[in-house]
Amino acid sequence: MSNTPTTTQYAGLRGRRYLVTGATSGIGQAVALALREQHAEVVALGRNPEALAALEAAGCTTCALELTDTEALERTITEHGPFDGLVNSAGITHVEPALTLPAEAIDQVFHTNARAAAMAARCVARGMIEANKGGSIVNVSSQASLVGLDDHLAYSASKAAMDAITRSLCLEWGAHKIRVNSVNPTVTLTPMAQKVWSAPEKRDPMLAAIPLHRFAELADVVEPILFLLSDGAAMISGVCLPIDGGYTTR
């Protein structure tokens, strides 16, 4: 996959077992493939059959799953665990002015972005604690949790909830040697984002607000995630790391 890191080796990933949600597109897919390049074992969760088949061909174990089905999620994690790490990358958005935003849309975004992430972390952590092995959890949040964005009430609030989950779990599980962090990317150039942000009237104002004057490539997000999973980040927990070219400093 283009933009996926292939040369840097991260301490401690080889041979370890990781669960990646939202693994059939975007950042989640890139993380799953990058972990395989690090010779880690990967269980990839997603909904796209063709993308799951491609991940299987790359050596991942795959599961088709609706993350908001908590019973199915816990059953799958228990069956395939224990894990050394989790990347909560699954997420959806709903862009609409707050005055017309339906309650149902808020519920749907929160259930996927916040509740499912918390439930996945809970089940993975139980396995880590039972195995007395510790581990690392990385939540894929967003710059939208750190600053106000027009028409992003549901998405921004759900990602702020994810960051709060990160901080709470860092405190609760630190004694079990479980580290929990978030990464908070700006616009990341997945195939979908390239279409959404291709129009100059939308693209140019956002680029002007980013001090580095570019959007994130997949590798810009995947590399920090791999680092946070690795032994090199052994003393890092409770962090919400902007990967935004300086956007949130404004």
Contact residues for 79 (Cβ-Cβ < 8 A; gap 6+): none
Q: Which of 133, 155, 177, 247 is catalytic?
A: 155
- Which two tokens mark 32? 């799953």
Instruction: Determine the Cα–Cα distance for residues 243 and 141; give it in Å rounded to an integer.
Output: 10
Closest CA to 165 of 125, 216, 218: 125
| Residue found under tokens 């004694």 | 175
Phi and psi based region of residue 120 (left: phi greater than 0; alpha: psi -120 to 50; beta: remaining): alpha
Closest CA to 135 of 19, 45, 222, 6: 19
Active site residue 155: yes
Active site residue 10: no
Q: Which of 159, 177, 195, 202 is catalytic?
A: 159
Contact residues for 200 (Cβ-Cβ < 8 A; gap 6+): none
Active site residues: 155, 159
